[in-house]
A and B are shown apart, each in its own frame.
Chain A
Amino acid sequence: MTEDTIYAIDIQGLVKRYKGRVNPTLNNLNLKVEKGSLFGLVAPNGAGKTTTLEIMCGLKNFDSGSVRICGLSVKDSISEIKTLIGFVPQEIALIPSLTGRENLRFIGGIYGISDSKLKVRIEDLLAQFGLTNSADKHISEYSGGMKRRINLIAGMIHSPQILILDEPTVGVDAQSRNLILEELVKINKNGTTVLFISHYLEEAECVCDKVALMDGGKVVLEGNPTDLAMQHPECRNLEGIYFKLTGKQMRDTYE
């Protein structure tokens, strides 16, 4: 098997500098996510994780390095890549004046799903995430947890090969958070590669089969959460390992 068939995401030597900043936001980042894995990318604010995602989705340019998704380069084949990935952004990236169903119909339509298939897919997902009864309400009327759930549905409506989630459980109650995490595990078991980005180390520890800890624009530690814990017996959990490696100083202070 070639690397292209093994890795869903293959990032090598990625560098990204923002105008007016001294240090690069991504500083020779290397990251490989195997196909079919549930991968957690954990980092503090300002570590460059959202920038990494945006580059992977073709939203931002980068200065050097290479980014390949399912063997395709984001520089050359972003149109094909867009059909393979599903992106769940940190903010509720839906149109507030449209209902949940209208938003999903629009997004599914852009992915080219036929009307009949889309209708069935929407109803299935709404039922799966407990949103059937509120599907015809405007997004602006949804609670925080409902918004997070429909945001997740929107990212997976077209059954992508890779689902990329940027902090999908921020600001939700325990029940919604539990449901989202359970569904992510189910989606992964059905064959979808999941790249899960979070602040919450315990979440990653709980659901991911592999995690990468990022700091200063690069990966500082990578592996299976259980293996990592065994390598650092002095630390109680992943959070302890993380603090040991990166310290407790805040990262998003003004440069």
Chain B
Amino acid sequence: MSRFNKIKHLLIKDFLMLRRDVAGVILMFIMPVVLVILMANLQESTFNIVKGVKIPLLFVNNDSGELGAAIEKEVENSGVFVINKESGGVAADMEKRITASEYLLGIYIPEGATEKIRGNVERFVLTAFNGIDKVPFKDEVKITILVDPTSNGSFYNLVMSTIRERTQKVQFDFIMKEITSQVNAISPVVISSENFSGEQFTIDAKYAIPDNSNIVPNAVQHNIPAWSLFAVFFIVVSLSGNIIKERESGSFTRLLTMPCSYSEYLLSKAIIYLMVTMLQFSVMLIIGVYLIPYVGLPALEPGNSFSALLFMALSASVAAIGYGIAIGNIAKTYQQASVFGAVSVVIFAAIGGVWIPIFIMSPLMQIISKLSPLNWGMSGFYNIFLRDEGLLSVIPYGGALLLFGTLCFIVALLFKRKSRQYS
């Protein structure tokens, strides 16, 4: 009998087994789709704070002078906030409203702030021009900024840097103007600060992407490869469970008494699951390119190298299948395989940068992350999706995945041989 015919019958059997494992199929296809839409949306919200989504802000200005008005104008000009202006309020009331999440942010400018700063500058100028080597008395001006306690750390940092930038500009301009005014009062030569700008240089911050690329980094470019890899590796639960179920039912033992080798048995499983993983990648790419825009997210830019994409998808599939086969051979029970398989993939994902970008991990964790096959996969897909690079650039990552998969196959075969020797 030809080997092809035998493989054909094994493939039909494995396909039917997989098709009837409804829970497994849901886990392999529905879970990553839900995760990618959910996670991309969540991450995109944070990303959008910078890009135009407005934050509700309560602005209590009790200062009747120029300082309060100038801060108010600057905050308005930032375009980041939806401002509700109030006057005559007290800081304690504002704090209560922010704590209750009525507003995400509150700015409180106390009464007489302009006058106090003006007095401070006047004393400073007089002291300086009279040659007095003594720090003059300074009235404290305390502007309070309150942030909703339920907002996360990155939101807090983002808002504070925006507010700080705007208020420092106001402070600089106001003090400059006051000093000029005070100096003019005592100097015979009139000086003007009208055309003086505090901004001596500009900062142009942007993502470093190739000149000929239209790819813009966003949550989708990260989440599609991340959750695709997670889903592909999650097949270990179904694959190893499938192997153990056949072993426990005795059908595997029967198969070994038939003209079928262990390698043919594994080859059939590998082919079926390779088809599954390639289908998973295809579905996720199609969702990224065509469906994601319908849920208000930017479409995935899949890069320009199909060969690189195919190589990475195949390599990740081989790694996941090899890992699943190794677990299926080593684990003694279905429970052992499913728990170990699921937990180990979650750990690989966590340290591999699927959930949290690697650059924000501690230096030790950044080293540990390199041990995760999902990290190798992510690095390869980043080269394709974010740097628009080709096949050559992903060979090291794909190669590492292929090596991992092959080693797992070898471990499975050695374990099988050893267990036969001792049984």
Determine if A94 and B16 form an interchain contact, defined as CB atoms under 8 angstroms apart: no
Question: Interface on chain B toward A: helix, strand, loop, or mixed SS?
Answer: helix
B158-166, B178-186, B250-258, B391-399: which one contacts chain A?
Answer: B250-258
- A95-B249 CB under 8 A given contacts A83-B259, A111-B259: yes
Binary interface encoding of chain B residues 1-42 relative to chain A, with 1 for a CB under 8 A from any of its CBs, else 0 = 100011011101100110011000000000000000000000
In Å, the complex CA distance between A162 and B225 comes to 54
B119-127, B321-329, B415-423: which one contacts chain A?
Answer: B415-423
Determine if B16 and A97 form an interchain contact, defined as CB atoms under 8 angstroms apart: yes
Residues from chain B with a CB closer than 8 A to the CB of A110 are 6, 9-10, 255, 258-260
Measured CB to CB, the closest approach of chain B to A16, in angstroms, equals 10
Residues from chain B with a CB closer than 8 A to the CB of A111 are 1, 258-259
Residues in B203-257 with C-beta less than 8 Å from chain A: 245-246, 249-251, 253-257
Determine if B20 and A97 form an interchain contact, defined as CB atoms under 8 angstroms apart: yes
Binary interface encoding of chain B residues 397-418 relative to chain A, with 1 for a CB under 8 A from any of its CBs, else 0 = 0000000000000000000000
Residues from chain B with a CB closer than 8 A to the CB of A72 are none
A93 CB within 8 Å of chain B: yes
Residues from chain A with a CB closer than 8 A to the CB of B257 are 57-59, 82, 85, 87, 89
In Å, the complex CA distance between A83 and B251 comes to 17
Residues from chain B with a CB closer than 8 A to the CB of A57 are 256-257
Determine if A95 and B246 form an interchain contact, defined as CB atoms under 8 angstroms apart: yes
In Å, the complex CA distance between A59 and B16 comes to 26
Residue of A nearest to B2 (CB): A112
- Cβ contact of B251, chosen from A59, A60, A61, A94, cutoff 8 A: A94
Determine if B258 and A93 form an interchain contact, defined as CB atoms under 8 angstroms apart: no
Determine if A82 and B258 form an interchain contact, defined as CB atoms under 8 angstroms apart: yes
Residues from chain B with a CB closer than 8 A to the CB of A112 are 1, 5-6, 259
Task: Tally the A-B contacts, defined by beta carbons under 8 Å.
Answer: 85
Determine if A59 and B253 form an interchain contact, defined as CB atoms under 8 angstroms apart: yes
A101-109, A175-183, A229-237: which one contacts chain B?
Answer: A101-109
Residue of B nearest to A57 (CB): B257
Measured CB to CB, the closest approach of chain B to A22, in angstroms, equals 16
In Å, the complex CA distance between A80 and B13 comes to 24
Measured CB to CB, the closest approach of chain A to B244, in angstroms, equals 13
Determine if B259 and A93 form an interchain contact, defined as CB atoms under 8 angstroms apart: no
In Å, the complex CA distance between A105 and B8 comes to 12
Residues from chain A with a CB closer than 8 A to the CB of B1 are 111-112
In Å, the complex CA distance between A94 and B249 comes to 7
Residues from chain A with a CB closer than 8 A to the CB of B6 are 109-110, 112
Measured CB to CB, the closest approach of chain A to B109, in angstroms, equals 71
Residues in A147-188 with C-beta less than 8 Å from chain B: 154
Measured CB to CB, the closest approach of chain A to B253, in angstroms, equals 6
A19 CB within 8 Å of chain B: yes
Measured CB to CB, the closest approach of chain A to B249, in angstroms, equals 6
Residue of B nearest to A59 (CB): B256
Determine if A87 and B254 form an interchain contact, defined as CB atoms under 8 angstroms apart: yes
- A97-B259 CB under 8 A given contacts A59-B253, A110-B10: no
Determine if B422 and A19 form an interchain contact, defined as CB atoms under 8 angstroms apart: yes
A123 CB within 8 Å of chain B: no
A92 CB within 8 Å of chain B: yes
A146 CB within 8 Å of chain B: no
Residue of B nearest to A85 (CB): B257
Measured CB to CB, the closest approach of chain A to B272, in angstroms, equals 14
Measured CB to CB, the closest approach of chain A to B356, in angstroms, equals 38
Residue of A nearest to B420 (CB): A61
Determine if A109 and B9 form an interchain contact, defined as CB atoms under 8 angstroms apart: yes
Binary interface encoding of chain A residues 58-95 relative to chain B, with 1 for a CB under 8 A from any of its CBs, else 0 = 11110000000000000000010011010101111111
A96 CB within 8 Å of chain B: yes
- A91-B423 CB under 8 A given contacts A106-B12, A110-B259, A112-B1: no
In Å, the complex CA distance between A90 and B254 comes to 10
Determine if A60 and B423 form an interchain contact, defined as CB atoms under 8 angstroms apart: yes
Residues from chain B with a CB closer than 8 A to the CB of A82 are 257-259
In Å, the complex CA distance between A112 and B13 comes to 15
A125 CB within 8 Å of chain B: no
Determine if A109 and B5 form an interchain contact, defined as CB atoms under 8 angstroms apart: yes
Determine if B255 and A97 form an interchain contact, defined as CB atoms under 8 angstroms apart: no
Determine if B253 and A79 form an interchain contact, defined as CB atoms under 8 angstroms apart: no
A98 CB within 8 Å of chain B: yes
In Å, the complex CA distance between A176 and B246 comes to 26
Measured CB to CB, the closest approach of chain B to A169, in angstroms, equals 17
- Cβ contact of B421, chosen from A61, A85, A90, A106, cutoff 8 A: A61
In Å, the complex CA distance between A92 and B354 comes to 43
Determine if A89 and B259 form an interchain contact, defined as CB atoms under 8 angstroms apart: no
Residues in B240-298 with C-beta less than 8 Å from chain A: 245-246, 249-251, 253-260
- A102-B253 CB under 8 A given contacts A60-B420, A110-B260: no
Residues from chain B with a CB closer than 8 A to the CB of A154 are 254
- Cβ contact of B17, chosen from A79, A89, A98, cutoff 8 A: A98
Measured CB to CB, the closest approach of chain A to B6, in angstroms, equals 6
Residues from chain B with a CB closer than 8 A to the CB of A58 are 256-257
In Å, the complex CA distance between A122 and B63 comes to 94
Measured CB to CB, the closest approach of chain B to A137, in angstroms, equals 13
> 11 A-B residue contacts at CB 8 Å?
A58-B256, A61-B420, A82-B258, A95-B251, A102-B16, A105-B9, A106-B13, A109-B8, A109-B9, A110-B255, A154-B254
Binding site for A on B (CB under 8 A): 1, 5-6, 8-10, 12-13, 16-17, 20-21, 245-246, 249-251, 253-260, 420-423
Known: A89-B257, A94-B254, A112-B6. 20 other contacts (CB 8 A): A60-B420, A61-B420, A61-B421, A85-B257, A89-B254, A91-B250, A93-B250, A93-B251, A93-B254, A94-B251, A95-B249, A96-B245, A96-B249, A98-B17, A98-B20, A102-B13, A107-B254, A110-B260, A111-B258, A112-B259
